[in-house]
Amino acid sequence: MNGQRPILYSFRRCPYAMRGRMALKTSGVAYEHREILLRDKPDAMLAASPKGTVPVIVLADGEVIEESLDVMRWALAQNDPESWLAPGDAMFDLIAENDGPFKHHLDRYKYSNRYEDAVAAEHREAGLDYLKKLNDRLAGQAQLFGDEVSLADIAIFPFVRQFANTDRAWFDTQDLPRLQAWLAAHLASPCFADIMEKHEVWVDGAA
């Protein structure tokens, strides 16, 4: 272990890793960033977390946290200066819908060629239903659980970003004005800019 800092294995463009990095950044927890390639995962990461997905954080005592929401909750349990945890358990049903049904449709919309019998347009419409629900939630408030940013906003917006970027011209024409403004604000945030800085790929045996 490099001193007593946790080690984070991450991949820049992964939405799960994005939300984990944003929680770590906001918490102010110091950690060692190890950027990996999903097609060439380092042995050290696989030894810590054989399932091979990011983010993975290895704590100083050897404990491994390998689910992105758990990484977020761990970081914010150390320090939550912006009160992202304030809405409490009410957030997690909406996040579960994002991580379950919406992600299912997002994958089959964005990568329809990878799934047998997937029709991209059908999955786009199914995903749009969830986006309409988010747009409705934003009526009269700036964020999903009020006017302040919460863990839910940070957990969900990287996936909305991915959906939007699949066909940005189409997304921008949808009747989702509040959601589009919400997404734009999160994409323009200093925290997001910071966690999207590029890192050299880490390799086993590197100092």
Q: What is the CATH number of the domain that holds 19?
A: 3.40.30.10
Task: Say whether pLDDT at 4 is over 90.
Answer: no
Mean pLDDT of the chain: 96
Is residue 117 a part of any domain in this protein? yes
Same domain, 25 and 113: no
Domain holding 178: CATH number? 1.20.1050.10
Beta carbons within 10 angstroms of residue 32's beta carbon: 15
Task: Say whether pLDDT at 3 is over 70.
Answer: no
Is residue 47 a part of any domain in this protein? yes
Is residue 2 a part of any domain in this protein? no
The helix (H) or strand (E) run that includes residue 64 is strand 64-65
Same domain, 112 and 172: yes
Is residue 36 a part of any domain in this protein? yes
Same domain, 101 and 154: yes
| Strands, sheet with 56-58, edge to edge from the N-terminal-most edge strand | 32-35, 7-10, 56-58, 64-65
Task: Say whether pLDDT at 60 is over 70.
Answer: yes
pTM of the model: 0.95
Residue 159, domain extent? 88-189
Tokens at residue 172, please? 């921008």
Same domain, 72 and 22: yes
Same domain, 92 and 165: yes
* Mean pLDDT, residues 49-56: 96
pLDDT class of 2 with cuts at 50, 70, 90: very low
* Mean pLDDT, residues 152-177: 98
Same domain, 105 and 185: yes
